[in-house]
Amino acid sequence: MEISEEITTIKYPKTEDQSPITGYRYYELHTGFNHVFCKGFIQTGPQTEKLMACFFAINFPSLILLSFTMKNICEHEKNFSWFWITLVLLILINLFLFLTAFVNPGILKRFPYYESLGKTKESVETNDQPFPWLEMQNGERSFKLKYCSTCNIYRPPRSSHSSKSNNCVLKFDHHCPWVGSDVGLRNYRFYFYFLFFVTIFSPNTLIAGIYHMVITFQKIAKDDDLDNMGIFTKGFSKCWYSLLLIIYAFFFFYYVTKLFWYHIKLISKGITTKEDRNRTYVKSRSPYNQGLWKNWKNHLFSKINPIPFSYRDFLSENEILKLRSDFKQLKSKGKLKKKSNFKKLEQKKINKNKLNTISTQNFDLDSDSEKNKNIQLESLSSEDIEKM
């Protein structure tokens, strides 16, 4: 049975193209390579195994630190202040780790049709020429917007298509291999805070491990009549885990501090990781560099931009029909790419229970309308472009 035969009611709210809204939401038909949970309320990057690996790489040594090293230190000092400070740092690290992973980085909604270019699917597939650039003017500055042949949209300035998540992301910075997610406009500050607290936590672990070994060896030397080798052997047997923590924290501190300092320089210059790696502004000053204070304010202390769209947005009948009939996934270079997760679109059956009348209070019509297609273009004339 064809999908168009199953959608027959005219009672539903309609988008600007007069296509009835269905009971299907965006996340049910396409999420890129990201993972979506709780019916679209929660999303994260495609590499959740790396997120879990990062979580255990931080928390397993920290559990040893708190349970043994810090406990022995605090009992020796008869003061648990250091223990609680370390615990608070660990909680903050985990908080910002998961905020980085689960906050939408600024994913732009893709479209399964080519009307925005005035082209057909067949002409797009057979034309070897690159898609045209769209020139936009914002005050005295002009911008060239690149067309993404995967998402079928003109990307705003500084946005890029992530090959890892298969989505276009606003102010794309990089794909973090630690978190397994993209870092962009909306979650960069959480990534920076994560690095900040890890940079503090690492030397804290290093100092705690060294101090624990020192007091352990001093106690053995004072209480036992042993030679130097005996003191070393007995001391190591009692605090070997602190030595492992010292080694672990040293390499962790070395790597994270370099990364943290690198991002301090990027924020101060007003550029992204992608722009730095591509050497975009080597010979000239970045037009987004607003000075040291404004750069830091916009990156870390400004209001978080609203998400471009929600995975819970309802799809119109027209969008579902086109997703099933016209949708082809393309690499960012324009080559056709087939993925198994798109095969389900051909077998997708509309559940009539989801085609009940939907109250207009339950959703925003603009989120599924033609206006949404141009949201990234409209935003160019706003003040937000200065923060990007």
Catalytic amino acids? 176
Instruction: Write down how long the chain is.
Output: 388
Q: What is the CA radius of gyration of the chain?
A: 27
Sign of CA pseudo-dihedral 379, 380, 381, 384: positive
CA distance 272 to 264: 11
Contact 198, 69 (CB under 8 A): no
Closest CA to 248 of 98, 90, 69, 62: 62
Q: List the beta bridge partners of residue 35.
A: 44
Amino acid, single-letter form, for residue 87: L
**Centroid of chain to Cα 273:** 14
